[in-house]
Amino acid sequence: MISLNKATILGNSTRDPELKYTPNGQAVCNFSVATNRRFKNTAGDLQEDTQYHDVVVWGKLAEVIAQIIKKGSKIYVEGRLQTNQWDAPDGSKRSRTEIVLDQFIPLTPKGGTYETGISAGDADSVDSAPAAAPKKGKKADDAAPVTPSSDEDINLDDIPF
């Protein structure tokens, strides 16, 4: 039987990422992303719905996220859903569903240029500063996903995903 556990969101970070280390030295980073949906209700009035998504990142990628994502940063996130359950001190059952990040693309310009996408496999080779977008003339196959240059006027609400 085939199954798939994949979450893909594009939104804004609601707070600065919180980087911690486990007792064995493994980096873990937590942050949240807000996504907005606009729709017309049955009366024809425009409504807006905001959802908040908890994201957890492990390893070198956690350290990279902590360096380049800040509160308000626009970010594209891919990962898998994971639900954790525990007993609260008052005896009630609690649960939390989060996205375990596999790869991301920062969409907020840093220093006037857009950054390239980074995945968990790429994080080991990332320096302390993220790479800039590739120069014109390179083949699409040679580069990671890149957003348009910052001198173009783009309305992110026009993106169909």
CATH code for position 143: 2.40.50.140
> What pTM was estimated for this model as a whole?
0.67
Average pLDDT over residues 96-118: 77
Domain that holds residue 138: 7-158
All residues at 6 or more sequence positions from 34 whose CB lies less than 8 Å from its CB, including other chains: 11, 12, 14, 50, 51, 52, 53
Does residue 60 sit within a domain?
yes
CA 79 to CA 55: how far, in whole Å?
9
Cα separations in angstroms, 54 against 14, 22, 58, 63: 10, 19, 14, 17
Locate tokens 């360096």: which residue? 67
Average pLDDT over residues 136-141: 42
15-50 confidence digits (pLDDT tens): 999 999 999 999 999 999 999 999 999 999 999 999
Residue 109 confidence class, pLDDT cut points 50, 70, 90: confident
Does residue 27 sit within a domain?
yes
Q: What is the structure's pLDDT at 128?
A: 40
Does residue 126 sit within a domain?
yes
Does residue 81 sit within a domain?
yes
Percent of the chain predicted with pLDDT > 90 = 63
Does residue 79 sit within a domain?
yes
Mean pLDDT of all residues in the chain? 79
Q: What is the structure's pLDDT at 66?
A: 94
Could you tell me which residue, 127 or 31, shows the higher pLDDT? 31
Does residue 24 sit within a domain?
yes
Q: What is the structure's pLDDT at 127?
A: 46
Number of domains within the chain: 1
- The answer to whether 116 and 127 have CB atoms below 8 angstroms apart is no
Does residue 1 sit within a domain?
no
53-74 confidence digits (pLDDT tens): 999 999 999 999 999 999 999 9
99 closest CA partner among 75, 119, 81:
81
Does residue 36 sit within a domain?
yes
Q: What is the structure's pLDDT at 90?
A: 93
